[in-house]
Amino acid sequence: MTDFTQAPYDCRVEWGLRGAIEAAKRKDITIIVDVLSFSTTVVTALEHGAVVYPSPPPLAKAKAYAEAIGAELALSRAEAAALGGYSLSPLSFKLADRGRRIVVCSSNGAACTSAASDASALLIGCLRNAAAAAQAADQLRRASPPGASVTVVPCGEQWDDDSGAGQRLRPAIEDYLGAGAILARLSGSRSPEAELCAAAFERTVGRLRELIWDCGSGRELRTRGYKQDVLHSTRLDVSSAVPMLVDGTFFADIGAKSS
């Protein structure tokens, strides 16, 4: 069969759950990007020294997992606001949380992380750590056998229902721009798809906050009362923490430039 994939190139971009699965099958170094908010939340949590365990849905399974390993389960933003505790809001994590064990469940970022868990290396990227994530991936690629590649996976969102069409993925510009911020800093050849993604970031880098503030995902969070989450998530290159999945747990070199 003729190969029409991005295989000839060192740096690639694939969307969503299927993209994560394909990257893992190829044993690519894989970077999961879910700017609002899984990736940003994980990066922020590790900046503060928390120990994070990703878990895909359903929530009941994530709750059982948290109980089994003696960790706390991050709640929905509304539940955390009412009951206290952690949530997918990156601002729910503080410096006092060093050493806390938290299970984070999400239908996009955590699900894609689980799908790509067999990748040769799995990193978490967002706008806050884009340059650091690219540097870490480059280091991993240089230390890998010849031919190793990097795939960046913008997770996107999901339609509330598939309306019988069988397609749940809703591409999200915040994840595309976050992926582009990483791809623009990676060394090696880029596929046309990756080149275009990097160009989207480079063309709009001066307007990232404005664009994400007013995109669908940004408006959704703002109308629910989480404006500060959007502002926190749109800061570029302020963190050197790059979460890496090892045996189901995220580890990072905690050297955040700011919180």
pLDDT one-digit tens code per residue, 95-128: 899 999 999 999 999 999 999 999 999 999 999 9
> What three-state secondary structure class fits 163?
coil
Binning pLDDT at 50, 70 and 90, where does residue 167 land?
confident
- Please give the structure tokens belonging to residue 188: 């090696």
Cα(106)–Cα(191) distance, rounded to whole angstroms? Answer: 29
Pull the structure tokens for residue 58: 């359903």
Across-strand partners of 102? 52, 72
pLDDT at 259: 42
Using DSSP's 3-state secondary structure scheme, residue 125 falls into strand
**Torsion sign, CA atoms 206, 208, 211, 214:** negative
Buried b (16+ CB within 10 A) or exposed e, 91-107: bbbeeebeebebbbbbb
Contact 224, 206 (CB under 8 A): no
Tens of pLDDT, residues 197-248: 999 999 999 999 999 999 999 999 999 999 999 999 999 999 999 999 999 9
Cβ burial 33-50 (10 Å sphere, 16+ → b, else e): bbbbbbbbbbbbbbbbbb
- Contact between residue 127 and residue 181 where contact means Cβ atoms under 8 Å apart: yes
Compute the mean pLDDT over every residue in the chain, rounded to the nearest whole number. 93
> Can you list the domains of the chain with their CATH numbers?
11-37+108-247 (3.90.1560.10)
**pLDDT band, very low/low/confident/very high, at 157 (cuts 50, 70, 90):** very high
pLDDT of residue 255: 44
Q: Identify which of 170, 132, 189, 156 has the alpha carbon closest to the alpha carbon of residue 8.
A: 189
3 confidence band (pLDDT: 50, 70, 90)? confident
The rounded percent of the chain whose pLDDT value lies above 70 is: 94
Identity at 240, one-letter amino acid code: S
Residue 145 has pLDDT above 70, yes or no: yes
* 125 vs 165 pLDDT, higher one: 125
